Amino acid sequence: MTDIIDGDAVAQDVRDGLGDAIETLDDAGVRPSLATVLMSDDPASETYVSMKQRDCEEVGIDAVDVDIDPDAPAEELYDTIDELNADDSVHGILVQMPVPDHVDDRDVLERIDPEKDVDGFHPTNVGRLVAGDARYKPCTPHGIQKLLESAGVDTEGKDAVVVGRSNIVGKPMANLLLQKADGGNATVTVCHSRTADTAEKTRDADIVIAAAGVPELIDGDMIGEGATVIDVGVNRVDADNEKGYELVGDVDFESAKETAGAITPVPGGVGPMTRAMLLYNTVKAAGLQSG
């Protein structure tokens, strides 16, 4: 029987696990606070940000909501970041990506105080992660480590294939799997759009992490018997329903689950974990800044 990994349940465990730390901070007069900054009118980004704010409120984290007109000059975003950096009551800052074309995303990420960079995207935090001394692990790869752990998948000595090389998921995921640490010690291959034969790599893998942003790129023929398959994809494809679209992963779930030993669904797999780990990083940030 294929194990369908329940991301909602594991995310709930992560949130429950934050209770003690939030209480300890509360005893010290500190309430963790996350500022989300949205400079976009993309409906998906708007939804993500409002879900993050709701998550915060549910566990006892203050959510500071900043909306910036997507047509405003980049300076307005920079000034906002400067103000949030200087505000001691704000522990975490998240600028929802992507930002408009006239804003340089590298400038944005570098402007956020690394101590408040709960995404883990600041170059200082990326460097620390690669060096094996992560301050904030990026939320999606960290959430995937927790999913693997919950499914009883020990990564040590395993062949892991990461499909996709984004800064948000693919690269940090590969680095975490490589670390001399729990959830690491794997032999890691990263496939991408220029890989000659991705199927040849994924078929031999014990663990496949699909993070390419291509609907149903990975099917059952590309998965070895009993492998663990983690689907990071959240692709909106046109559909004949009232929303006009449906969410489809990077994995063809129906065929992949025939060969996989364990697999995450979309939705209800990686997505809830990304959100839970953001809360985890925000509580960690509050502890680091008040300790």
Stretch that binds ligand GUN, among 84-92, 95-103, 200-208, 257-265 (CB under 6 A): 95-103
Examine residue 139 and tell whether it contacts ligand GUN (CB under 6 A): yes
Examine residue 119 and tell whether it contacts ligand GUN (CB under 6 A): yes
Q: Which of 52, 146, 171, 201 is catalytic?
A: 52
Q: Determine whether 289 is an active site residue.
A: no
Residue in 97, 130, 199, 214 binding ligand GUN, rule: CB under 6 A: 97
15 versus 137: smaller Cβ distance to ligand GUN: 137
Burial (CB count <10 Å: 0-12, 13-18, 19+), residue 47: exposed
CB 191 within 8 A of CB 202: yes
What is the spatial distance between Cα 206 and Cα 179, in angstroms, rounded to a whole number? 17
Examine residue 96 and tell whether it contacts ligand GUN (CB under 6 A): yes
Helix (H) or strand (E) holding 160: strand 159-163
Q: Which of 55, 116, 117, 119 is catalytic?
A: 119
Instruction: For residue 17, say whether it is annotated as part of any ligand binding site.
Output: no
CB 275 within 8 A of CB 49: no
| DSSP character string of 215-263 | TT-B-GGGS-TT-EEEE---EEEE-SSSSSEEEE-SB-HHHHHHH-SEE
What is the spatial distance between Cα 10 and Cα 27, in angstroms, rounded to a whole number? 27
Instruction: For residue 234, say whether it is annotated as part of any ligand binding site.
Output: yes
119 versus 231: smaller Cβ distance to ligand GUN: 119
Looking at the DSSP assignment, which residues form a beta bridge with residue 38?
67
Stretch that binds ligand GUN, among 94-102, 196-204, 250-258, 282-290 (CB under 6 A): 94-102
257 versus 275: smaller Cβ distance to ligand GUN: 275
Examine residue 94 and tell whether it contacts ligand GUN (CB under 6 A): yes
Give the list of residues 6+ apart from residue 208 with CB closer than 8 angstroms, or none.
160, 161, 163, 202, 218, 222, 223, 227, 228, 229, 230
Q: Which of 53, 55, 96, 171 is catalytic?
A: 96
17 versus 98: smaller Cβ distance to ligand GUN: 98
39 versus 262: smaller Cβ distance to ligand GUN: 39
Largest CA distance in the chain: 56
Examine residue 66 and tell whether it contacts ligand GUN (CB under 6 A): no
What is the spatial distance between Cα 34 and Cα 41, in angstroms, rounded to a whole number? 21
Least separation in angstroms between CB 24 and ligand GUN? 27
Examine residue 125 and tell whether it contacts ligand GUN (CB under 6 A): no
Residues that bind ligand GUN in the complex, under the rule CB under 6 A: 94-97, 119, 139, 168
Active-site residue set: 52, 96, 119
Residue ranges for the known binding site for NADP(+) are 164-166, 234
